[in-house]
Amino acid sequence: MNSRPNSTSRFGSLRPALGLGLAAALFTTTALAETPTVTTTAGEIAGMASPYDAGVQVFLGIPYGADTGGENRFRPPQPVTPWEGTREATKLGDACVGFGYPPFLMPEEGADLDTSPMSEDCLRLNVWTPATDDGKRAVMVWFHGGGYTSGSGGSVRYDGTNLAVKQDVVLVTVNHRLGALGFMDLSAVGGDPDSGNAGMLDIVQALQWVQDNIAAFGGDPERVMVFGESGGGGKVTTLLSMPGAKGLFQRAVAESGLQQGGIPTEAGQKTAAEVMETLGVADVAALQAVPTEDLLKAGGNWGPVIGPSFPRGPFQPDVDPLSADVPLIIGSNATEAVFFNVTPIDPLPDDAALKEAFAKNPFAGSIPAENIDKLLASYGEIFPEKAPHELLQVIATDAWMTGQVQATADARSGAGQPTWVYHFAMPQGARDGKLGAPHTAEIAYVFDNLDLSMALVGEPDDDDRALASLVSSYWATFAKTGMPAAEGGPDWPQWTPDNRAVLVLDAETGVETDPFSARLDALGAARN
């Protein structure tokens, strides 16, 4: 485990990412550099040098679809109108309209979120590239978290400078429609048959944009990897069951998020009817005129709906064969559940408080009270160094995330579909290290952006920097070759139902065989 103070990594010291404090000086330097321009299918755009490394070219706020407001609301994405002259691509585009992050999220996360204004004219993407040449570099396309109701591709922690300069890849981040605007199924009231998946169709159109344009940015359209975290992982796995996305990407990574099935069509239509009743509108035309703030207030359970573009779930009722040829990395973090303030990070005063914490926990609350002591004893044998509240952190994490990772890996590999599994266990520095490795923690290491994610990471040490280099290399090599590998890191075997091999990512990264089954068996017994 990472001790943080004055630690030295076995992978050696790494050049840190440039901190925000140097941005002004870099802007002054790079302003003198030649403005990079690229001709896309819609027209010419002018980008800029990255404020963190002048050798990386950045293009922000590139439109890949038309304004989704007015008559385009709830419709599949429409094409961009070509422009004349050169369009500036040096500022993030608007984020798509969605909810803010709920108040029970860790406040540390707020420092890293995109603060761009929100609007319906939001189908924008961002590109980082080492050079706009014919380099045919692997392309990594990132889908943000926030479920299907919040977030954007503009968070500073998604900056692609370090991936571009250190791994020689092209990075793309994407904004797409969220919530009711992206996932309201209006097919039963005269709306578009695919209105329930408009947000996912945005993503498909963004991937088509990559196919049509990324070569001009030095990328290879035949080596595209989609990856995302939390809701972004759900979007990645949803793509595995969308026929319209077939062939638009060649590998996939889902971090701490898996879409198992989809919202049944009837349920999606019922939600739409309830929202329309709440808003007092009778038809789609009236709904298209409702202010976005009223749509947000109307509520609803939003996500991909079974329909024409998404005919079935990727893993329910079984593994979809559509993307059997797409290698997939999946995984989760050691203490996912502490990301939410409903899971304690401090010792509890007595047994009654512990039982109350279990009962209130959204992930472990279904465990009968009479089974908790036996479950804690079982987990205590596996983790003898952990206090009871820390065991609850792991139990809640397993109930929410670890169990579905193992089940999905078993099912997919059992169907002959190449799958690798990781477990991110590097303790983070925020809250005096009490958080362990919570939900979202791996993002800073995947992007090698520790200095842009210090609200959660804390002050990065040598172990952090070494692990960031290692993780980003595994991901980038996977994008390049379809096989995850990293210089200085252990070989990462494919998961099979027999070996259940897991790459544990921490200060002493290594491969473990079947590390989850004993505790998941105990959890399953306690739930019954």
Residues 54-100: tens digit of each pLDDT = 999 999 999 999 999 999 999 999 999 999 999 999 999 999 999 86
Can you tell me the mean pLDDT for 150-170?
96
Same domain? 179 vs 76: yes
What CA–CA distance (Å, rounded) separates 209 from 13?
A: 38
Return the CATH number at 483.
Answer: 3.40.50.1820
Residue 369 banded pLDDT, cuts 50, 70, 90? very high
Q: Give the pLDDT of residue 116.
A: 82
Same domain? 306 vs 411: no
Residue 391, both tokens = 């065991």
Same domain? 109 vs 184: yes
Same domain? 375 vs 493: yes
Question: Per the domain annotation, does 307 fall within a domain?
Answer: yes
Same domain? 293 vs 376: no
Pick the more confident residue, 220 or 32. 220
Question: Per the domain annotation, does 81 fall within a domain?
Answer: yes
Cβ atoms of residues 112 and 62 within 8 Å: no
Residue 342 banded pLDDT, cuts 50, 70, 90? confident
- Say yes or no to pLDDT of 186 above 80: yes
What CA–CA distance (Å, rounded) separates 90 from 47?
A: 5
What CA–CA distance (Å, rounded) separates 87 from 90?
A: 9
Question: Per the domain annotation, does 236 fall within a domain?
Answer: no
Q: Which residues are catalytic?
A: 230
Same domain? 191 vs 274: yes
Q: Which of these three, 251, 285, 313, is where a domain ends?
A: 313
Q: Which of these three, 253, 282, 313, is where a domain ends?
A: 313
Same domain? 373 vs 417: yes
Number of domains in the chain: 2
- Say yes or no to pLDDT of 308 above 50: yes
Question: Per the domain annotation, does 3 fall within a domain?
Answer: no
Same domain? 309 vs 412: no
Percent of the chain with pLDDT over 70: 91
CA 77 to each of CA 68, 74, 100, 184, 286: distance values in angstroms, whole numbers, following the listed order: 7, 9, 23, 14, 20
Same domain? 208 vs 274: yes
**Strand residue runs (E) in 90-240:** 95-96, 118-119, 124-129, 137-143, 170-174, 219-229
Cβ atoms of residues 82 and 105 within 8 Å: no
Q: Give the pLDDT of residue 199.
A: 99
Residue 396 banded pLDDT, cuts 50, 70, 90? very high
Residue 115 banded pLDDT, cuts 50, 70, 90? confident
Cβ atoms of residues 151 and 145 within 8 Å: yes
Same domain? 283 vs 375: no
Question: Per the domain annotation, does 404 fall within a domain?
Answer: yes
Residue 152 burial (CB < 10 Å; 0-12/13-18/19+)? Answer: buried
Residue 110 banded pLDDT, cuts 50, 70, 90? low
Range of the structural domain that residue 411 is part of: 333-527
Same domain? 195 vs 343: no
Q: Identify the DSSP state of 472.
A: H
Q: Identify the DSSP state of 105.
A: B
DSSP letter for each residue of 377-442: HHHHHH-TT--HHHHHHHHHHIIIIIHHHHHHHHHHHHTT--EEEEEE-PPPSGGGGTT-S-TTTT
Question: Per the domain annotation, does 429 fall within a domain?
Answer: yes
Q: Give the pLDDT of residue 99.
A: 81
Per-residue burial over 100-123, b if 16 or more Cβ lie within 10 Å, else e, is ebeeebbebbeebbbebebebebb
Please state the pTM of the whole predicted model: 0.93
Residue 121 banded pLDDT, cuts 50, 70, 90? very high
CA 32 to each of CA 159, 236, 348: distance values in angstroms, whole numbers, following the listed order: 22, 39, 58
Residues 39-48: tens digit of each pLDDT = 999 999 999 9
